[in-house]
């Protein structure tokens, strides 16, 4: 017989607060057109993107995360000293070690919170949310801060016609805490590593260091392959997330997919047969694709504008490099 005592965590977990930070510089499509042969009409028709935000030297991964986290903590009414863990999803923090989460936890004033980074691309927020839920229910933390943050402008090849217009910078954060009722559904997640070449870093850092290549590494993708996968396969994952949560499309209030491309969003809405009453996040139009930050940033904007409200039932799904994905149904804070 095991001598280990059962966990004394909360029965359930929920999102208690959300915050976002967008860099001050707004970059219209006209700037992108200085380095690629395209047009504003083409970019808008293919992606829905009109503008994106690019960080300046002071708007580091840490600085943006601290700003977004401070807003999330204020929104939740929770002091930083009560945070038991900080989970940061990013692919654009260029120090392999230490984890940027440790610096963020310290700057926020947490009381020696557990802190670590995860690399799950555009699904990173969903991965972090799932880990946070587990910590709270298991009892290893009462409150967890989940951050998605990217400076993808550092990994953008401005001469790559397929990707130059896609990426933006920013940070989104949520505070996850205990709940007496289910407010974060089961996560449907996974990976398809056989498709990892469809979204990837162009070359390894060591190739750049050793002079094998002269061009700094960037993110590249096979646009059509990614589009087909996202539209057909991720709609199935989204439907499964609704099913395991016991929520029908008619009961859904809000849909917050990864803000990769508005055409993908429209196709998923159609495939899922979502009612017109469902509010659909379209933050991609003015924020671009911010990878791990896109879902919390879109969530924060919907709540701030009143397009969504506290207590709404929302389906969130992230998908991207790996290829990885994560979908769940949540109650909005």
Q: Tens-digit pLDDT profile for the chain (333 aa)?
A: 788 887 788 899 999 999 999 999 999 999 999 999 999 999 999 999 999 999 999 999 999 999 999 999 999 999 999 999 999 999 999 999 999 999 999 999 999 999 999 999 999 999 999 999 999 999 999 999 999 999 999 999 999 999 999 999 999 999 999 999 999 999 999 999 999 999 999 999 999 999 999 999 999 999 899 999 999 999 999 999 999 999 999 999 999 999 999 999 999 999 999 999 999 999 999 999 999 999 999 999 999 999 999 999 999 999 999 999 999 999 999
User: Is the whole-model pTM more than 0.75?
Assistant: yes
Q: How many residues does the chain have?
A: 333
| pLDDT of res. 168 | 98
Q: Is 258 a catalytic residue?
A: yes
How many Å apart are CA 156 and CA 165, to the nearest integer?
9
| pLDDT of res. 23 | 98
Per the structure block, which two tokens stand in for 183?
A: 């407010």
Q: Is 122 a catalytic residue?
A: yes
Determine how many CB atoms are found less than 10 A away from the CB of residue 95: 10
How many Å apart are CA 124 and CA 318, to the nearest integer?
7
Q: Which of 29, 93, 122, 261 does the annotation list as catalytic?
A: 122
- Alpha helices per DSSP H over the chain: 29-32, 40-47, 61-76, 100-108, 124-138, 205-209, 223-228, 234-245, 262-272, 284-287, 294-305
Determine how many CB atoms are found less than 10 A away from the CB of residue 239: 18
**In the chain, helix, strand, coil percent, each to 5?**
40, 25, 35
| pLDDT of res. 7 | 77
How many Å apart are CA 288 and CA 268, to the nearest integer?
18
| pLDDT of res. 6 | 78
Contact partners, residue 232, CB within 8 Å, separation at least 6 = 271
Query: Which of 319, 297, 263, 323 has its CA nearest to residue 168?
Result: 297
Q: Is 289 a catalytic residue?
A: yes
How many Å apart are CA 325 and CA 321, to the nearest integer?
9
Q: Which of 53, 93, 258, 261 does the annotation list as catalytic?
A: 258
| pLDDT of res. 223 | 86
| pLDDT of res. 5 | 82
Which contacts qualify for 209-213: CB closer than 8 Å, 24 or more apart? none
């Amino acid at each position: 017989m095991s001598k280990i005592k059962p966990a004394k965590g909360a029965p359930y977990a929920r999102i208690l607060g959300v915050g976002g930070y967008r860099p001050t510089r707004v970059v219209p499509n006209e700037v992108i057109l200085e380095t690629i042969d395209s047009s504003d009409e083409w970019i808008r028709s293919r992606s829905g993107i009109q503008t994106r935000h690019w960080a300046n030297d002071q708007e580091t991964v840490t600085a943006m995360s601290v700003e977004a986290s401070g807003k999330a903590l204020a929104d939740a009414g929770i002091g930083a000293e009560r945070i038991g863990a900080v989970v940061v999803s990013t692919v654009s923090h260029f120090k392999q070690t230490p984890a940027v989460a440790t610096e963020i936890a310290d700057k926020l004033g947490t009381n020696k919170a557990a802190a670590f980074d995860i690399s799950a691309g555009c699904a990173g927020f969903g991965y972090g949310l799932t880990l946070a839920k587990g910590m709270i229910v298991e009892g290893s933390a009462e409150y967890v801060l989940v951050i998605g943050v990217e400076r993808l402008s550092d990994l953008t090849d401005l001469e790559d016609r397929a990707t130059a217009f896609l990426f933006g910078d920013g940070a989104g954060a949520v505070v996850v805490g205990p709940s007496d009722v289910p407010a974060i559904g089961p996560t449907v997640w996974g990976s398809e590593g056989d498709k990892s070449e469809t979204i990837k870093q162009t070359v390894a850092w060591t190739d750049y260091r050793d002079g094998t290549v002269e061009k700094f590494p960037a993110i590249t993708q096979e646009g059509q392959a990614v589009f087909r996968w996202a539209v057909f396969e991720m709609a199935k994952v989204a439907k499964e997330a609704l099913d395991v949560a016991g929520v029908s499309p008619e009961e859904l209030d809000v849909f917050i997919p990864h803000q990769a491309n508005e055409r993908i969003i429209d196709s998923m809405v159609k495939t899922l047969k979502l009612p017109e009453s469902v509010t659909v996040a379209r933050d991609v139009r003015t924020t671009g694709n911010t990878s791990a930050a896109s879902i919390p940033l879109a969530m924060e904007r919907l709540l701030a504008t009143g397009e969504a409200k506290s207590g709404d039932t929302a389906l969130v799904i992230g998908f991207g490099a790996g290829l990885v994905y994560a979908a769940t149904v949540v109650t909005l804070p």
